[in-house]
A and B are shown apart, each in its own frame.
Chain A
Amino acid sequence: MSAAIEVTGLGKRYVLGNTSGGYSRLTEDISDGVARLFHRRAGERVEKTKAEIWALRDVDLEVAEGDVVGIVGRNGAGKSTFLKIMSRITDPTEGRAVINGRVSSLLEVGTGFHQELTGRENVFLNGAILGMRKREIDAKFDDIVEFAEVARFIDTPVKRYSSGMAVRLAFAVAAHLEPEILIIDEVLAVGDIAFQRKCIGKMSEVARSGRTVLFVSHNTGAVSELCTRAVLLEAGKVLLDGPVETVLDTYGRLLGERGHEAVFDVDPALPAAIRSVSLVDSSGQAATTFDLRDEVVMTVRYRVREPLAGLQTSVTLARNMVDVFTSFDTDDLDEIPIREPGEYEATLRLPGMFLKAGSYLARITLGTPEQLLHDAPGAVSFELEELTMNTHHRGYRRERAGIVIGPGTWRTERIGERV
């Protein structure tokens, strides 16, 4: 069997300077340049303290024709850099990849869609951008429109489309590319459930038709459904390459092992101090990434040396620097008790389906109304992810405004027939 993809020693280095965050100002670079010029003249070379990051290094990978390979890894493991290199959006710093066949990447469906153009015009433009010949688009046009279910609006400017329609049309174009090699990044989060089914169907069809697929996703469910083999990236390297179950198992353990516990040196002079803060999931497993539906269990252990009236420990949870809530371990009590000397364990259980997906940072405090004894900002952090379901059509998907999953239920009825 011939290799569809051969990757040898692939690496990508990013230089983190003052320009790493994007475009820079001309004046800054000119003054930097002038400064360097003068220093050089003075005989001393100014080494700019530039931090380098290898987002990807020494990656070797061989993918046989027809393989459907899932690429998994934590945030920052190098998944998206790898995809960007494979789809030629960015160049590698070293190494080499050889791809036998036409590649199309669905890094983002609908790339190049123009709001002013009609559906028909966008199909042709988008097709060309994705690498189709005009003849090919002509031939597939009817199929594309039918797949997208937008036949009635095909000559309407896309700006009048609902977002669902635009996305369906975009995906339909991409799905009809028929490349030998398909690179997919989380496109399953497209459209409503019925359309997602169709997309997964289309993707399995692609996989079964002998095409090679690289599928990058957080959604381990989709990976295990579609892929026969998986590659786990960690810190820019291939940590594991093998059967899906083995790799996903390791990936799952990897997700749980970082920063699930913060241990503090206890100052013996203090009347009370926090010993540790830890995170576990509902089954008692240490974790830092939780499913949206799962409980997050936070345990604060503290030691009390002398009886303290009104001793409380609190958790303040923040998402993107915005506080979500502050909660005290005495909130549910009618009277604030006196804590006698000893070891204490306070456990806060956050229910599932309460917070939206995202990164959360917890600040823990211990103190009495008179005195703050221990403050641990950012003691632990955790991620909430849509690990077991697709949230695209739901109100609590990450991109929507707000921090919590909106409570309440909706019901819409038609209450009259006359207008």
Chain B
Amino acid sequence: MAATDAPRIVIEPRSAYAVRARELWSYRELFYFLIWRDIKVRYKQTALGASWAVLQPLMLMVVFTLFIGQLHGVGPEHIPYPVFTLAALVPWTYFSNALAGAANSVVGNSQLVSKIYFPRLLIPTAAACAYLIDLIVSFVVLLVVMAAYQFTPSSHIVLAPFFVAYVIAVAVGIGLFLAALNVRYRDVRYAVPFLIQFWLFASPVAYQFKVVGSQYRLIFALNPMVVGIEGFRSSVTGVGGAPASVLVVSACSALVMVAVGFYYFRRVERSFADII
């Protein structure tokens, strides 16, 4: 109980740039617990539980195959369309769930935020990470569908985790921004589903990159999810599409968005407890 080995806490006005990495590390157990809680509660509250992880991408795959896949040239020829679109829906479904989860996380945990101190970054990050379990389940579904179509996975599949990490980073980065914005403007809660819907069609999920008109390609490339989706899909199926220049723009856009999201969150988090 000697004060010498006890932590020394300094409370003073904070800067938005300073990242307290050591502090974050010391809260890692809470981070695991928050993820664990989110998963546990979600499965206890939903009747279908884990089936949602399977149903969401699978139903979209069916819809896309029936209505969009029939269009000529919408997908590449040397890959069954269902496999093509499902390989994109797996990271996309994760992204959309994680983004929505992160965006509502701080407001949803207002009781915690207004009563207890811990690094606020943990809340949206844990909310986004809690959907990884769904991603794993839907990834298995993808492998099953590929097997059903007798489509052999690419050897580049070992790179898939890298792109998953990329998608997590994008979801967390933008989720941080939305979560912080949501504390101040509750409109965000209603804007997010619309944003996600719009975003799905702006991403190469149901169609290949070639379909995008050349005059729109630059704007298209600003979507950070282009890298996440194209990267994941080509590492699993070996079918790529977008040229390197587009991928570079997309990745840079992701970097900017994540940095802005992170900065904005850090700047606003100090007033969470006063507003929430």
Contacts and interface: CB of A to CB of B under 8 A. Distances in A.
Interface of A: 2, 4, 14, 19, 22-26, 29, 65, 84-103, 105, 107-108, 111-112, 114, 116-117, 121, 124-125, 128-131, 133-134, 157, 180, 209-211
Contacts of A91: 11-14, 270
23 contacts: A2-B3, A14-B274, A24-B184, A29-B185, A84-B273, A92-B12, A93-B13, A96-B12, A99-B8, A99-B11, A100-B9, A102-B6, A105-B115, A105-B116, A111-B112, A116-B41, A116-B44, A116-B45, A117-B37, A117-B41, A125-B36, A125-B37, A129-B116
A138 to B, nearest CB: 12
Interface string B124-136: 0000000000000
A114 B41 contact: yes
B33 A128 contact: yes
Nearest to A103: B9
A182 to B, nearest CB: 13
B70 interface: no
A97 B14 CA distance: 13
Interface residues of B, number: 39
Contacts of A128: 29-30, 33
A65 B11 contact: no
Contact of A90 (B3, B12, B33, B273): B273
B156 interface: no
Contact of A98 (B9, B36, B40, B183): B9
B275 A112 contact: no
A85 B41 contact: no
A180 B6 CA distance: 8
Nearest to B271: A90
Contacts of B7: 101-102
B1 interface: yes
Contacts of B29: 128, 133-134
Contact of B11 (A19, A96, A100): A96
Interface in B1-55: 1, 3, 6-14, 29-30, 33, 36-37, 40-41, 44-45
B208 to A, nearest CB: 36
Contacts of B37: 114, 117, 121, 125
A303 B193 CA distance: 69
A125 B185 contact: no
A90 B275 contact: no
A58 B3 CA distance: 26
A87 B3 contact: no
Q: Which of A14, A89, A96, A105 has the most CB of B within 10 A?
A: A89
A184 to B, nearest CB: 13
Q: Which of B113, B117, B184 has the most CB of A within 10 A?
A: B117
Nearest to A108: B115
A19 B40 CA distance: 36
A172 B112 CA distance: 18
A89 B13 contact: no
B138 to A, nearest CB: 24
B152 interface: no
A176 to B, nearest CB: 15
Interface in B102-129: 111-118
A180 B1 CA distance: 7
A87 B117 contact: yes
Contacts of B183: 23
A29 to B, nearest CB: 7
Closest 10 pairs (CB-CB, A-B): A88-B117, A101-B6, A128-B33, A97-B11, A111-B115, A99-B9, A26-B185, A96-B12, A100-B3, A90-B273
